[in-house]
Amino acid sequence: MKQVIAYDSTLRDGAQAQGVSFTVEDKLKIVQRLDDLGIGYIEAGNPGSNPKDLEFFERVSALKLKQAKIIAFGSTRKVGIPAAEDRNLQSLLSANTTAVAIFGKSWDYQVIDILRTTLQENLNMIADTIGFLKSQGKEVVFDAEHFFDGYKANAGYAMQTLEAAVNAGADVLCLCDTNGGTFPDEVSAITKTVVSRFKVQVGIHCHNDCEMAVANSVAAVQAGAVQVQGTMNGIGERCGNANLCAIIPNLQLKLGMHCIPSDNMAALTSAARFVSEIANMAFNDKAPYVGNDAFSHKGGMHIDAVSKNPISYEHINPERIGNVRHILVSEVAGRSALLSKINAVDASLNKDSADTKRILEHLKFLEHEGYQFESAESSFELLVQRLLGKLNPFFTLKEYKVSAHAPAADGVNSTASIRIAVGEQEETTVAEGDGPVNALDKAVRKALERFYPAINEVKLIDYKVRVLDSDQATAAKVRVLIESADQHASWTTVGVSTDIIDASWRAMLDAIEYKLMRDAQLQDIKTQDTKARVLQA
């Protein structure tokens, strides 16, 4: 089995993505998660670039990593300065990592027009830098920047840069498709040439400007590369970097190579979502392997086939990478497809039951009105519970009022009052907020917290509004999706109305009811377990 080193640069390349800024604490958490996943190398930043990276390298050494090597990243020495006197190289050494990555120019155009130096001086810079770092006992990865563009423009010179690195003691030659414009056939042919010429490890580092980064990385490995660089979820500058969350399963599950410990593969999806959360980026539901939609089925024929044999519409078992199969709730799904969702509430129903038909007809009516439950399965579960008479409301809304006014100095511009009843008791509260929905959310939480303290555990993750009939202008119907979470799980609910506040309230009501219903179900399970243990004793 071919061993392929998984090399992650999320904390360096990924941090260059628009809107991403990792704190030191963020970086330490990601390092720990990547190490748990089994990543071989973690490129963590340039200690000479900013104080935050300096602090990170000071603190990361205290982590007890099981597998990953931390790599500090920097450039070749500056033009005309001895490597031992180069300030950036001194900072690189101060990181106290066993391995370093050095990037240098491999494209003659870049040397002459960007560095503004001679081709020979660039070769000297590569050799001097790597030689100096090797004399300090470092493992050195040489990132040949713009290598593929450089090879196509001047193959002889591009290969000379690699030769300079190898002769100076480089442990790995990493070929970089820095502009992301190379195609897989070119990557494959050029990588084969490099592998056949140099007797050191060859790596690949691709950018995604032509949506080729994953394909190019796989092609390079098939051509002989043994180190593959990328980022979690493919985040990075411009269009991003090669996505390790696709590369690793492609190589390991499809091609039979080894990137991470086999037992860790099932942690890939949770790791991808963890990094997305830490980066404060919306997770890509359409991402291959790890996306929420990667194993989702909506069409009735597809669902019927998958229920008989998942291989009919799934290329792997989602559990292998820690994902799950989703049968989406939709008017096009059909009675059989919805049955599994309905059976979760009432196992006695079958596809020909009168209740099943009634639920399906009501679903079609609601979707005609603008509801969509495929992204709001929590609302669908509540709908089924209500239609079957199995949901006892946790509270009853008596009335609510919302008013908007000129913003105060702190941004508050709305007030909401709400009156609810829990059993025989009533509660009326007033709250201010940054917008009417925020004020209403605060008011309902304040009203419910004395009855249900767990309501304070719920936080809003996402809030989306979709205009359904834009030709109606301000009278248009809107659909609101609210994603909520507590420390255990997340769930999404939906509301539709011509009034955005009313639509938001409906989605918010479902979010709260779902939380309270799920907590009650969990408490019932715990109570039953306790009773069973008592009886056994």
Instruction: For the chain, give every domain's residue range.
Output: 5-278, 296-369, 395-448, 452-537
Q: Output the pLDDT for position 337.
A: 58
Q: Output the pLDDT for position 336.
A: 58
The reply to whether domains 395-448 and 452-537 share a CATH topology is yes
Contact 302, 313 (CB under 8 A): yes
DSSP state of 112: I
Q: Output the pLDDT for position 10.
A: 97
Count of CB atoms situated within 10 Å of the CB of 430: 14
CA-closest candidate to residue 484, choices 466, 461, 503: 461
107's enclosing H/E stretch is none
Contact 292, 282 (CB under 8 A): no
Q: Output the pLDDT for position 207.
A: 98
CA dist., res. 390 & res. 424, Å (int): 21
CA dist., res. 411 & res. 417, Å (int): 19
60, amino acid identity: V
Q: What is the CATH number of domain 5-278?
A: 3.20.20.70
Q: What distance separates the 2 farthest-apart alpha carbons in the chain?
A: 87
Instruction: Sort residue 283 into left (φ over 0), alpha (ψ -120 to 50) or beta.
Output: beta
Task: Output phi, psi for 314, to 5 deg.
Answer: -135, 130
CA-closest candidate to residue 500, choices 416, 407, 436, 405: 436
Query: Do strands 425-433 and 396-404 pair parallel, antiparallel, or not at all (unpaired)?
Result: unpaired
SS3 7: strand
Q: Output the pLDDT for position 472.
A: 61
SS3 231: strand
Residue 17 is encoded by which pair of tokens? 């993505």
Q: What is the mean pLDDT of each run of 10 residues along the chain (537 residues)?
A: 96 93 92 97 86 88 94 96 94 94 97 96 98 98 98 98 98 98 98 98 98 98 98 97 98 97 95 87 90 79 73 90 76 60 85 86 84 80 91 90 79 89 93 90 92 90 80 74 84 91 92 92 76 66
Query: Do strands 490-497 and 478-485 pair parallel, antiparallel, or not at all (unpaired)?
Result: antiparallel
- Sequential DSSP letters for 151-178: HHH-HHHHHHHHHHHHHTT-SEEEEEET
CA dist., res. 92 & res. 79, Å (int): 17
SS3 237: coil
Q: What is the CATH number of domain 452-537?
A: 3.30.160.340
User: Which residues on adjacent β-strands are paired with residue 205?
Assistant: 176, 229
CA-closest candidate to residue 228, choices 75, 9, 1: 9
Q: What is the CATH number of domain 395-448?
A: 3.30.160
405, amino acid identity: H
Instruction: Quickly list H helices, 313-471.
Output: 335-343, 354-369, 377-387, 436-448
CA-closest candidate to residue 46, choices 94, 3, 5: 94
DSSP state of 258: B
Contact residues for 322 (Cβ-Cβ < 8 A; gap 6+):
265, 266, 267, 268, 269, 270, 290
